[in-house]
Amino acid sequence: MLEADNLECVRGERRLFAGLNFKLEAGELLYLQGRNGSGKTSLLRMLIGLLPPEAGEIRWQGTSIKAQGDDFRADLCYLGHLNAIKEELTPLENLLAAARLADEDLSEDDALDALEQVGLAGREDLACKYLSQGQKRRVALARLVKEKRPLWILDEPFVALDTAAVDWLAGIISGHLQRGGLAVMTTHQLVNIPAGTVRELRLS
Amino acid sequence: MFRIITAVIGRDLKLAMRRQADIVSALFFFIIVVSLFPLGIGPEPDLLRKLAPGVLWVAALLATMLSLPRLFADDHRDGTLEQLALAPHPLGLVVTGKVIAHWLVSGLPLALIAPVLGIQFDLSADALIVLTGAILLGTPALSGIGAIGAALTLGLRGGGVLLSLLVLPLYIPVLIFGAGAVDATVTGLGGEGHLSLLAAITFASVGFAPWATAAALKIALE
């Protein structure tokens, strides 16, 4: 269960939001909406613990994420608007390296399977710098295929994807919700997630 | 704890191997700067022997500085630094891994080539051994202290110059004891005392610097 209690965000001299509350249970998805600059990404960065809130508290399973530290991060999977892939490494090496750093056991077969699902079969051994923008995004998204951690925080996951990939990703997210996972994401295009309870939060 | 450190080292070494130009250019910079001195000064063995420790160490400091700006900048630009900060381990351990990897690709090659370059300065065999030992012992401290500067200047425009201004003064103790060890061997006093102090500086900086670096990185990521 993820709870936000009376959050306030100040960036520079501007207060982006204050008194923000929500509660997200297992199997629920929170859609963050709002125009550019309304503080969506700032809120996500607060939820992953990289940006300390000006006021208020974020709780995961009942205790503050700040107090939990490593334990909270072991439950968290974050996908930012940057792909977090290394151009010099191949898609396969990128996936395996990311899993090792996150302390996850990902076998090479699982990683190859994930890359096949995102449509990168046959390109596993090509350095990422030779891939297109959309393909690089798919390498980043391939992390989600075998992801077992319960809390997913996704910043604009549907950007740069074609329609088939959008449907595929919506399927991956619903599978995660059906397994009892939680997800928070920002998006400008509303995508229909077939399973789980979808809540919406509009920042203005 | 060791798993995360080895994971980071493994990743960074693999990246360095794919980008060998970076390693080679810092190494050639070191070789050329050191070789210019005997050419400029001329065949005066006594003077060269006196100059050798200082020249080799200053060149080693500058060669290390060359690779520092990219220590965190690449990871910051492509978003992997965020993922490293979100790994379920203290960020200080992740930074320790990065510092060790940085030393393996920047400090270790300098130590290996240093005895060859020392011959140009007519150093004795004893002095060459102490020189290599001193550079081996001292360069991890350069990577550790440099990491703090690299993290503090992360994302700043013109960060490279600021980084030199910030880090080079902190390198002075390493320079004094590193060059002092070779100097003492040349003059026959024995360099053990200098080497012990150098080892102490290295242990302190490789132990503590990653945690200061982690604090600076957290501010940079906000």
User: What does the pLDDT look like over A60-88, one tens digit per residue?
Assistant: 998 999 888 889 999 999 998 888 999 99
Nearest to B65 by CA among B181, B151, B190, B171: B171
Q: What is the pLDDT of residues A148-166, one digit of tens each?
A: 899 999 998 888 788 888 8
Residue A159 backbone zone (phi > 0: left; psi -120 to 50: alpha; other: beta) = beta
Question: What's the pLDDT at B104?
Answer: 95
**B177 or B188, greater pLDDT:** B177
B87: chain A residues, CB-CB within 8 Å: 73, 101-103
Question: What's the pLDDT at B53?
Answer: 92
Element (H, E) at B194: helix B192-221
Instruction: Kindly state whether A25 is in contact with chain B, defined as any CB-CB distance less than 8 angstroms.
Output: no
Contact A141, A157 (CB under 8 A): yes
Smallest Cβ–Cβ distance between B87 and the set A52, A85, A101 belongs to A101
3-state class (DSSP) for residue B151: helix
Token pair for A1: 């269960």
Spatial distance between the Cα atoms of A33 and B118, rounded to a whole number of angstroms? 64
Mutate which of A47, A101, A137 to disrupt the B interface (most B C-beta within 10 Å)?
A101
Taking CA–CA distances from A149, the nearest residue in chain B reads: B88
Q: Which residues pair with A148 in a beta bridge?
A: none
Taking CA–CA distances from B218, the nearest residue in chain A reads: A50
- Write the single-letter amino acid at A98: A
pLDDT of A125 over the 90 cut: no
Mean pLDDT, chain B, rounded, equals 92
Quick count: other Cβ atoms within 10 Å of Cβ B143? Answer: 27
Taking every pair of C-alpha atoms in chain B, what is the biggest distance, in angstroms? 58
Question: What's the pLDDT at B160?
Answer: 83
Query: A89, B14: Cβ pair inside 8 Å?
Result: yes
Smallest Cβ–Cβ distance between A84 and the set B8, B14, B83 belongs to B83
Question: What's the pLDDT at B113?
Answer: 95
Give phi and psi for A130, each to the nearest 5: -90, 0
Report the range of poorest mean pLDDT among A79-83, B110-114, B142-146, B199-203: A79-83
Nearest to B196 by CA among B109, B144, B133: B133
B4: chain A residues, CB-CB within 8 Å: 101, 103
- Write the single-letter amino acid at A153: I
Mutate which of B1, B2, B11 to disrupt the A interface (most A C-beta within 10 Å)?
B11
- Show the CA angle centred on residue A186, arms to residues A180 and A9, nearest 5°: 105
Smallest Cβ–Cβ distance between B15 and the set A69, A73, A86 belongs to A86
Question: What's the pLDDT at A118?
Answer: 87
Exposure string of A153-167, with b = 16+ CB inside 10 Å and e = fewer, is bbbbbbeebeeebee
B75–chain A nearest CA distance, Å: 8
Give phi and psi for B159, each to the nearest 5: -65, -25
Give phi and psi for B107, each to the nearest 5: -80, -45
A81: chain B residues, CB-CB within 8 Å: 79
Q: What is the pLDDT of residues B83-119, one digit of tens each?
A: 999 999 999 999 999 999 999 999 999 999 999 999 9
Mutate which of B70, B77, B83, B98 to disrupt the A interface (most A C-beta within 10 Å)?
B83
Residue labelled with tokens 């056991």? A105
Q: How confident is the model at residue B211 (pLDDT cuts 50, 70, 90)?
A: very high
Query: ipTM score of the complex?
Result: 0.90
Q: How confident is the model at residue A13 (pLDDT cuts 50, 70, 90)?
A: confident
Query: B7, A101: Cβ pair inside 8 Å?
Result: yes
B222: chain A residues, CB-CB within 8 Å: 45, 50-52
Element (H, E) at B66: helix B45-67
Token pair for A203: 């920042």
Instruction: Kindly state whether A88 is in contact with chain B, defined as any CB-CB distance less than 8 angstroms.
Output: yes
Q: How confident is the model at residue B8 (pLDDT cuts 50, 70, 90)?
A: very high
Residue labelled with tokens 């319960």? A150
Query: A127, B18: Cβ pair inside 8 Å?
Result: yes
Question: What's the pLDDT at A198?
Answer: 81
Residue labelled with tokens 């007519």? B122
Nearest to B81 by CA among B1, B146, B155, B13: B155
Question: What's the pLDDT at B159?
Answer: 80
Give phi and psi for A37, each to the nearest 5: 85, 10
Give phi and psi for A69, each to the nearest 5: 55, -115
Residue labelled with tokens 């789980």? A196
Smallest Cβ–Cβ distance between B84 and the set A76, A93, A101 belongs to A101
Element (H, E) at B49: helix B45-67
Taking CA–CA distances from A51, the nearest residue in chain B reads: B222
Q: How confident is the model at residue A44 (pLDDT cuts 50, 70, 90)?
A: very high
Query: A86, B79: Cβ pair inside 8 Å?
Result: no
Q: What is the 3-state secondary structure (H, E, C) of chain A?
A: CEEEEEEEEEECCEEEEEEEEEEECCCEEEEEECCCCCCHHHHHHHHCCCCCCCEEEEEECCEEHHHHCHHHHHCEEEECCCCCCCCCCCHHHHHHHHHHHCCCCCCHHHHHHHHHHCCCCCCCCCCHHHCCHHHHHHHHHHHHHCCCCCEEEEECCCCCCCHHHHHHHHHHHHHHHHCCCEEEEECCCCCCCCCCEEEEEECC
Contact A157, A79 (CB under 8 A): yes
Q: What percent of chain B has pLDDT over 70?
A: 100
Expressed in angstroms, the distance from the first to the final Cα of chain A is 25
Smallest Cβ–Cβ distance between A86 and the set B8, B78, B89 belongs to B78
Taking CA–CA distances from B77, the nearest residue in chain A reads: A82
Q: Tell whether the torsion through CA atoms of A177, A181, A184 and A186 is positive or negative.
A: negative
Smallest Cβ–Cβ distance between B88 and the set A85, A98, A102 belongs to A102
Supply the pTM of this predicted model.
Answer: 0.92
pLDDT of B196 over the 90 cut: yes
pLDDT of A190 over the 80 cut: no
Expressed in angstroms, the distance from the first to the final Cα of chain B is 25
